[in-house]
Structure 1
Amino acid sequence: MFKRIACIRIGGGSVTRDAAEETPVAIFVNGRHLTTIALSPGGFEDFVTGYLYTEEIIRSADEIESVRIEENRISVITKNIFKRVSVKKTILSGCGGAVSYIDTQKLPAIDSDLVVAVPEIEAAVAALNAPEPLDAVALVTEGRIVARAEDLDRHNALDEVIGRGLRESLDFSRTAAVGTGAVTSEMVRKCLAANIPVLASTGAPTALAVEVAEETGLCIVGAAGTPEMAVYTHPERVAGMEGRGGS
């Protein structure tokens, strides 16, 4: 996922440094171009499975007949080859197009009674160990990492672990997603689509992510694995917060 690149240091001197690889990949479904996404190399089948699922193009991995991976192209054939597909749009424009927001009425709500313990979140964050500048995302169940992915874009990494979970028939309602970087409304939407009840990350959530998560039953944990760890929404899903440090 890295390539050695020559560069010149400020102050003089030539050096080589690792640069993360990035590949524009065109996704075709049933012979029609759906989108083109920049991905880190590897994990393409898991990614496209998760991506099609969180975009609500498929409802299970069983709907995929075949996946063909070429250098810069992923071609998917679904069992219903006549189905027309498009990327789902949940971001709507307000009056005059001046305001954008997510219509939570069009999003599913979390259906799960999962409660996770603080030590489980801390252990998962410690195990991520993502090399710069990549982000990492893992799915955790009963304190175990059951799927893990790295990518330049944490949204892609989240799709990849969701895809792995689909292909392995994982019960998402019993998992927590743990990752690096900020929590965005798009990450919230993907967790809602998969019915993942807890999303914890080393970064902080955006205000919109908190708003959407609060309305739909998703628990967001920010600054995970640090003394500043905090629960932003649905604290009833996190056990063991009492007596912890931070402010």
Structure 2
Amino acid sequence: MTRDLAEETAVAMVYGGSTQAVMMASPADLHDFAVGFSLSERFVTHPGQIEHLEIVEHPQGIEVQMWLTEDRAQALAARRRFMAGPVGCGLCGIDSLAEAGRALPDLGASGPVLAPSQVVRATKDLRRWQPLHDMTRAVHAAGFLLPGRGMVLAREDVGRHNALDKLIGAMARQGVAAGQGAFVLTSRVSVEMVQKCAMAGCAVLIAVSAPTAHARRLAEGAGITLAAFARGEGFDLFTRPDRIAGGFDVA
């Protein structure tokens, strides 16, 4: 018997010749990954601020080399001077405890209203966008649900943070506005997943598994509707029930 195994590769995000972060990731959709990571970490505010991007393979891993516009390059250089060192996680490149708890946009006045049936179907619909998972049973996925159209885009990766960054990058490159729909995750909801959601401007987050207590508080503060345990025929609603039609109480 043979099995397909998920590939896991060291991917370095390199800006202007300097490495900002190295993460273990699936070596696919790296252009999307680079753009999404750059947006999530606030290195850029739109893809056009990445003037050039090149993917360079090495025996020990992959470098995604990026050159930013002058203003963004200067801002990143100033930030880098205060860094103790990047780490390979969802809080890559932070320079202080304050940055770890950074202020997020208030999305309370934006976002769609979803029918309960759309939330219930969300993770089921995402399953059809997970060919790598079907082959390996070892990767996460993040998808974008657009009311009236269903799941319109998804990305997979061995890392849940990476999958969401890849999705955010793909949407930005294709001009898909995150505020029109919902992010759907195959993972638990931790703080960094809420942060990425807020920075992308997506006001609804649906996950198959549980949120942490801190993630729930963060979602509430950012005005994000957080629905979790979305599997089978139900879900738990933790914040902002006004975006779910029919009236729901929070868990």
**2:112 corresponds to which residue?**
114
Structure 1 contact 138–161 (Cα < 8 Å) conserved? yes
How far, CA to CA, are the matches of 1:207 and 1:37 in structure 2? 26
Do the aligned partners of residues 127 and 228 (structure 1) sit closer, same or farther apart at CA in structure 2, a change above 3 Å counting? closer
- TM-aligned CA distance change 1:146 to 1:91, over 3 Å: farther
Q: Which among 219, 228, 231 is matched to residue 213 of structure 1?
A: 219
**Percentage identity across paired residues of the two chains:** 30
Q: 1:123 Cα deviation (Å)?
A: 2.8
The CA deviation at 1:203 is 0.4
Q: Which residue of 1 aligns with 2:94?
A: 89
Question: Runs ≥4 in structure 1, deviation > 6 angstroms?
Answer: none
| Equivalent position to 1:184, from 178, 181, 190 | 190
Would you say 1:223 and 2:222 are equivalent positions? no
Higher strand share: 1
The alignment's TM-score, normalised by the length of structure 2, stands at 0.81
Flag structure 1 segments of 5+ consecutive residues without an equivalent. Answer: 1-14, 94-100
Whole-Å separation in 2 of the counterparts to 1:103 and 1:160: 23
Residue in 1 that maps onto 2:29 = 43
Shift of 1:60: 0.3
Gaps of 5+ in 2: 81-91
Give 1:196 shift: 0.4
Post-superposition Cα deviations, 1:36-85, rounded to whole Å, max 9, x if no partner, equal 11111210000110100010000001111111012211001112274252
SS of the residue 2:106 aligns to: coil
Which protein, 1 or 2, shows the higher relative CO under an 8 Å CA cutoff with sep ≥ 6? 2
CA distance in 2, matches of 1:166, 1:109: 20
State which of 136, 139, 163 in structure 2 corresponds to 1:134: 139
CA RMSD in angstroms comes to: 2.2
TM-score scaled by length of structure 1: 0.82
- Residue 166 (structure 1) aligns with: 172
Shift of the 82–156 alpha-carbon distance from structure 1 to 2, 3 Å rule, reads closer
Q: Residue 152 of structure 1 corresponds to which residue in structure 2?
A: 158
